[in-house]
Amino acid sequence: MGRYVLARLAWAGPLVLAIVIATFFIIHLVPGDPIQALVGDFPTPPGYIEQVRKDFGLDQPLSTQLWLYLTNLAQGNLGFSFSNRQPVLGLVLDRARYTLLIMVPALSLAAFLGIAMALAAAPRAGGLIDSSITALSVTGFSIPIFWLGQILVIAFAIQLPWLPAQGMVSARESLQGWAWVRDVAWHMVLPVFSITIFYVAIVARVARASVLEALSQDFVLTARAKGLSRRTVLWQHVLPNAMIPVITVIGYNFGHSLTGAILVETVFAWPGLGNLFITSIGNRDYPVLLGIFLVTAIAVVIANLITDILYAALDPRVRASYGKNA
Amino acid sequence: MPRFLQRFLAYRAGIASGAYVAVLVLVAVVTFALPGVDPHQITDNAMVGPSMEHWLGTDELGRDMLLGILFGSQVSLAVGVSAAFGATVLGVLLGAAAGFYGGWLDLVVMRVAEMFQVVPSFILAAVIVALSGTGLTQVVAVIVLLAWPQIARITRGEVMRIKQLEFVDAVRCLGVREWAILAAEVVPNAMAPVLAAGTLVVAQAILLEASLSFLGLSSADIVSWGRMLNAGQRFLFNAWWMSVFPGLAIFLTVLAFNLLGDAVGSALNPRTVTR
């Protein structure tokens, strides 16, 4: 297990470095002066631009610039956002909490629903539930997630005024304690549901395939031959085996769901990364945009790493194959 | 080819989506060539709901929504098809070279592909477009940059499988040069899954362009479905038709290309049994 984790870490390190170097080149992609990408278009105090020029060595050769960029990043210096009057790193991490607040419940719900659908469809391939999984997954891949959010707002916040359409808390009341928690939960329903629908499509497809695959294995036949009921076999033998690909698909799609969350947030004015992203586009606050890209990209690498490790922890076959090669 | 057509016609979803795409192409061509009709035409009937006069209603400046949606097909198709074409050409070149020659070339191409597949591609696309400008060329270039790895992976896999087949050795015995074997024998035989994947890239590209326009990362002078949804977002409480119809156009078009890609893939795959 230790050897496996080390191998995956050795893969993640260079990947992060490559992402950082790619970001460096993106800064130089701006037509004109790269200083624009590092400072943005917001008014800055006198002398700040000269300071940034010096910090990042913009008058030096490209290799020196890259080195300075790397050392600045290593110290957590992603620049300063003048439209938000805050260092970029703190700002991005602060907003990321709100994004996770809708992403984590959405992913959990999607995993639960996806597996439940796959298990319900398992007894009859080609049946009604089975075909609806296929239809759902094609739909999930094709629907613009922000449009889905808009439709949910129109249906459940405007036509049927059941749920709040925008924001994270009711602006007019100042709530405390449990009342506040309930208010936030109420505001979470529609954004969470938008991300869930998109994600169930992916999870249900993979879960369906892996349940069918597990059902065709010899151990299922053995368990049935031992006299276990269909239900026991499904819950105790098929489900644990089918869970592994589901966990992997959720982990590896972390980046996709992050993108989805960002687009959904703009519809619901949810104060997370997506909201920060769109206001930064409007303000031409480039350091924040680059900061969001760097932080999310590194988060995705970490999510993949955790997925790899979980995968090995759950499936002895993966561990074993690494042990033998040593 | 007749056998391909026969198989393709066995997929009802494939026929329906093929027909939809054909109609859409027709709409894009007609609106492009039609003189005297301007989708930017501002009228006094601002934000009127669907009626006999304006079937799908009008927007905040009184522009007809139906006209906008019909004209919007141009951007979606142009971006979708050219981005998919670019990604397919780039992906086939890199994937075929990597799979055929192997070694360090394979290692480098696959590592770079892996990096592009790990990073949150939409965020990267939005950052690049925000920095470099919102022209259609930039949008297409960004999508090509993000989409080639999937084509390269498939091409590489196919090329690695095909290069070990006997007929390749036979051609080699005839004295044909290596690169000519790759270009004339191996790559053409690897094309079937690549074509299917390329069709799916059209769907992704249309969705990505719409998402960028929705965030306001497109030129305001160009009529596009994503841009219309961006306007719809501001009037969600007053004019549902400004969001519902353009989004439906995106959804149906992306769905059509996804189904078409699946049908092409199944029809070209010799292992699929004709139903």
Interface predicted TM-score (ipTM) of this complex, two decimals: 0.90
Chain B interface includes A267 (CB < 8 A): yes
Minimal C-alpha gap between A222 and chain B (Å):
31
By C-alpha distance, the chain A residue nearest B245 is A147
**Percent of chain A clearing pLDDT 70 (strictly above):** 96
Would you give the distance in Å from CA A68 to the centre of its chain? 30
Residue A318 has pLDDT above 50, yes or no: yes
Residue B197 has pLDDT above 90, yes or no: yes
Higher-confidence residue of A45 and A307: namely A307
Report pLDDT for A252: 83
State the helix-helix crossing angle for A254-268 and A145-153, rounded to 10 degrees.
Answer: 40
Residues 229-268 of B with CB under 8 A from A: 229, 232-233, 236-237, 240, 243-244, 247, 250-251, 254-255, 258-259, 262
Report pLDDT for A219: 85
With CB atoms and an 8 Å threshold, state whether B118 touches A304.
yes
The C-alpha atoms of residue B237 and residue A145 are separated, in whole angstroms, by 19
- Which residues, other chains included, contact A274 with Cβ-Cβ below 8 Å and sequence gap of 6+? A99, A261, A262, A263, A264, A265, A266
With CB atoms and an 8 Å threshold, state whether B250 touches A30.
no
Q: Quickly list H helices, A143-272.
A: 145-153, 177-215, 218-225, 230-232, 239-252, 254-268
Kindly report the length of chain A: 326
Residues 40-79 of A with CB under 8 A from B: none
Closest alpha carbon to A284 in A1, A7, A44: A44
Instruction: Select from B119, B131, B259 the Cβ nearest to the Cβ of A30.
Output: B131
Chain A interface includes B16 (CB < 8 A): no
Q: Which residues of chain A lie closer than 8 angstroms to B254, CB-CB? A: 141-144
Say how many C-beta atoms besides its own lie within 10 A of residue B98's C-beta. 24
Residues 85-144 of A with CB under 8 A from B: 138-139, 141-144
Residue B274 has pLDDT above 70, yes or no: no
Would you give the distance in Å from CA B138 to the centre of its chain? 15
Chain B interface, best mutation among A142, A276, A298, A307, by max B CB count within 10 A: A142
Kindly report the length of chain B: 275
pTM for this entry: 0.90
With CB atoms and an 8 Å threshold, state whether A22 touches B115.
yes
- Whether B212 contacts B80, CB under 8 Å: no
Higher-confidence residue of A185 and B95: namely B95
Give the count of Cβ contacts less than 8 A between chain A and B.
135
Say how many C-beta atoms besides its own lie within 10 A of residue A161's C-beta. 9
Phi and psi (nearest 5°) for A84?
A: -105, 0
Instruction: Select from A154, A159, A262 the Cβ nearest to the Cβ of B243.
Output: A154
- Summarised one tens digit per residue, pLDDT across range B210-222 is 999 999 998 888 8
Residue A325 has pLDDT above 60, yes or no: no
Report pLDDT for A30: 67
Q: Find the range with the poorest average confidence among A167-181, B10-24, B50-64, B96-110.
A: A167-181
What does the pLDDT average to over A173-198? Answer: 86
The C-alpha atoms of residue A94 and residue A115 are separated, in whole angstroms, by 33
Chain B interface includes A22 (CB < 8 A): yes
Report pLDDT for A241: 82
The C-alpha atoms of residue B26 and residue B32 are separated, in whole angstroms, by 10
Residue A326 has pLDDT above 70, yes or no: no
Chain B interface includes A150 (CB < 8 A): yes
Report pLDDT for A193: 92
Q: Find the range with the poorest average confidence among A83-87, A292-296, B223-227.
A: A83-87
What does the pLDDT average to over B254-260? Answer: 94
Chain A interface, best mutation among B17, B69, B123, B250, by max A CB count within 10 A: B123
Report pLDDT for B270: 65
Residue A11 has pLDDT above 60, yes or no: yes
What does the pLDDT average to over A47-54? Answer: 79
Closest alpha carbon to B160 in B192, B182, B180: B182
DSSP state, residue B186: I
What does the pLDDT average to over B81-98? Answer: 96
What does the pLDDT average to over B48-65? Answer: 86
Confidence of residue B7 (pLDDT cuts 50, 70, 90): confident
The C-alpha atoms of residue A153 and residue A65 are separated, in whole angstroms, by 47
With CB atoms and an 8 Å threshold, state whether B207 touches A296.
no
The three-class DSSP label of residue B58 is strand
- Whether A119 contacts A233, CB under 8 Å: no
What does the pLDDT average to over B249-274? Answer: 84
Q: What is the mean pLDDT of chain A?
A: 84
Residue B1 has pLDDT above 60, yes or no: no
Residue A248 has pLDDT above 70, yes or no: yes
Higher-confidence residue of A192 and B52: namely A192
Residues 75-134 of B with CB under 8 A from A: 111, 114-115, 118-124, 126-128, 130-133
Chain A interface includes B135 (CB < 8 A): no
The C-alpha atoms of residue A165 and residue A158 are separated, in whole angstroms, by 8
With CB atoms and an 8 Å threshold, state whether B119 touches A277.
no
- Which residues, other chains included, contact A300 with Cβ-Cβ below 8 Å and sequence gap of 6+? A254, A255, A258, B118, B119, B120
